[in-house]
Amino acid sequence: MAWDRNQMAARAAQELEDGMYVNLGIGIPTLVANYVGDKDITLQSENGMLGMGPFPYEGEEDPDLINAGKQTITELARTSYFDSATSFGMIRGGKIAAAILGAMEVAENGDLANWMIPGKLVKGMGGAMDLVAGVGRVIVVMDHTNKAGESKVLKACTLPLTGKSVVDRIITNLGVLDVVDGGLKLVELADGVTEEEFRAATEATLVN
């Protein structure tokens, strides 16, 4: 037993508080928006929008209104639009309270790798490097292990970094970890996961 994608997103949504401006990455992080409930959260889309609304009804798609994943979206009463330089000014300037994003690898010192696999995947970092360098709190949501069953929670990243010592909290299908002095601290186990199972799937140093 462990958390599925939606349960991971629901757990990540618990990190968000009233009044926060938040940037959600592509994949599971996008699902977090479904679980914010009554909390007053403003979603930023780094292509130039604050106050991102849900997908449009069929037939109401607007080619001039997309999110950073290039998906058609809608605006809200609170929405504002701006150019990319202004958008990354608010990111780099620390105005965005939190970013929730996916990862290929996370290390015990908070290093994050999520943009490139040399020789295989060469798509680019998009806004990820700016986000992890600039926002108040970086929360990673990812599977604890890869398809081969190897830990993605490592002593040191093997892939090119997106950011150095940038991650604050890691939410995986097995539980929740915080980056602290000397390694990672187990905060919470997912439903039905034992501490032994969690430790066996974790390469990084766990500290108390």
Q: Which is nearer to other proteins, 122 or 148 (CB)?
A: 122
With tokens 């990319």, the residue in question is 84
Provide, rounded to whole angstroms, the least separation between the CB of residue 174 and other proteins: 28
Per CB under 8 A, 36 contacts other proteins: no
Residue 175 to residue 199: CA distance in whole angstroms: 11
Which helix (H) or strand (E) segment holds residue 176: the answer is strand 175-180
Binding flags for other proteins, 46-75, as an x/- string (CB under 8 A) = xxxx----xxxxx-xxxxxxxxxxxxxx-x
Q: Which is nearer to other proteins, 50 or 176 (CB)?
A: 50
Residue 43 identity: L
Which helix (H) or strand (E) segment holds residue 140: the answer is strand 137-141
How many residues bind other proteins (CB under 8 A)? The answer is 53
> Which residues are identified as catalytic?
46
Nearest to 141 by CA among 110, 165, 173: 173
Q: What is the DSSP string of 121-151?
A: EE---TTHHHHHHHSSEEEEE--SB-TTS-B
Provide, rounded to whole angstroms, the least separation between the CB of residue 1 and other proteins: 31
Q: How big is the CA angle at 95 (ends 91 and 100), to the nearest 5 degrees?
A: 60
Instruction: From residue 145, give the alpha-carbon distance in Å to each of 21, 62, 202.
Output: 30, 38, 8
Q: Which is nearer to other proteins, 35 or 81 (CB)?
A: 81
Using CB atoms within 10 Å of the CB of residue 18, give its burial: 0 to 12 exposed, 13 to 18 middle, 19+ buried.
exposed
Q: Which is nearer to other proteins, 155 or 164 (CB)?
A: 164
Provide, rounded to whole angstroms, the least separation between the CB of residue 42 and other proteins: 15
Out of 23, 87, 145, 172, name the contact with other proteins by CB under 8 A.
87
Tell me which residues in 107-126 interact with other proteins (CB under 8 A): 111, 122-126
Out of 89, 117, 150, 199, name the contact with other proteins by CB under 8 A.
89
Cβ–Cβ under 8 Å, residues 124 and 117:
no
Residue 34 to residue 52: CA distance in whole angstroms: 13
Binding flags for other proteins, 127-146, as an x/- string (CB under 8 A) = xxxx--xx------------
| Residues found near other proteins in the complex (CB under 8 A) | 45-49, 54-58, 60-73, 75, 81-85, 87-89, 91-92, 111, 122-130, 133-134, 160-165
